[in-house]
Amino acid sequence: DVQLVESGGGSVQAGGSMRLSCTIHGYTYSAGCMGWFRQAPGKEREGVAVLYTNGVVTYYADSVKGRFTISEDNGENTVYLQMKSLNPGDTAMYYCAAGLVAGTKAADFGYWGQGTQVTVS
């Protein structure tokens, strides 16, 4: 029974910051990765940030490099996405995901949260 629960979404003005969090229940990993994806109306789901559990690679989409930071708190089994300098292009439903193998595409992840909406105006 694996559950991922996102929180922290909402509406902000351009230039603002937000911090998303995702708590994971019933899931333990030593390899693979935790990631954040987003999907806007009319667009496909895209990976925005991925943290490999072994710390080898931290992936960021070109559109968010320098603005978004992914991190985790192992003790609390939580992954975060700190977002800065937000712009309207960041508006989307953001999803937390977990996978047993390393990857940066949605198909690489087997567990998903319900998503949290981020709206930037």
Comparing C-alpha atoms, which of 92, 70, 72, 90 is closest to residue 81?
Answer: 70
Q: What is the pLDDT of residues 16-64, one digit of tens each?
A: 999 999 998 886 655 578 899 999 999 999 999 998 876 666 899 999 9
pLDDT value for 28: 65
16 residue type, one letter: G
More confident residue, 66 or 101: 66
Question: Which residues have C-beta within 8 Å of that of residue 34, sequence separation ≥ 6?
Answer: 22, 24, 50, 51, 53, 70, 72, 79, 96, 97, 98
